[in-house]
Amino acid sequence: MNTNWAPNQTCEIWRGGDNTYFKDLSIQHKKQSGPSCVATTLSMIVESLGFTADVDYFKEVTNSQSPQSWSDSLKPFGLQLAYCNTDVRRLRYYIEELASLKDLFLVSFYSIDPPFDINKDGKLCTAHIVTMHNDVIYDTAKSIEYGGVSKFQNYPRLNRPVKRIFRVVPLGHARCL
């Protein structure tokens, strides 16, 4: 198995350098309450930019299964999401490249293995979303004391299969949703 996978550097969304938008952002971790990882994550990002937008606002304007609604909810704050082409490889195969870009990403992964098995209730397995800024992962499912903020190398869920990766970009970016 090739563990030296690298993104296609000719694709604008995978470039760093001059295309880094949020390198110096200061994020304050938030712990989610109940199944609200999307709303909590979006609130955490927006508040790190100096805006006021609580979790309830994002619960009202987003659908947890609709990334387009996530991107649309960020528009009033001058942001949108850009989808990064990915597949169901494990997070450990993407993480170093994401860290090397020194920017702001939302990373969604499946909570169990494999992601295609339907459980006894007929539902697909659940997924979770975290924020990755530079080389730090912010996991709203965990408190700071129990690993809610960690360097990417120490993140305990690197073996989870990736569902989606989004780069947070300025409003109107050519690659935005």
Three-state secondary structure call for residue 24: coil
pLDDT of residue 144: 87
Residue 12 lies in a domain: no
The pTM assigned to this predicted structure is 0.87
Long-range contacts of 138-147 (CB under 8 A, 24+ apart): 138/27, 138/29, 138/41, 138/44, 140/29, 140/30, 140/31, 140/32, 140/36, 140/37, 140/40, 140/41, 140/44, 141/31, 141/32, 141/37, 142/31, 143/31, 144/29, 144/31
Domain extent for 116: 34-170
* Intervals of the chain under pLDDT 50: 1-2
Q: What is the pLDDT of residues 87-130, one digit of tens each?
A: 778 999 889 989 988 999 999 998 876 666 666 666 666 889 99
Counted domains in the chain: 1
Looking at the domain assignment, is residue 177 inside a domain? no
- CATH number, domain with residue 143: 3.90.70.10
Q: Which pLDDT value is given to residue 112? A: 74
Position 119 in a domain = yes
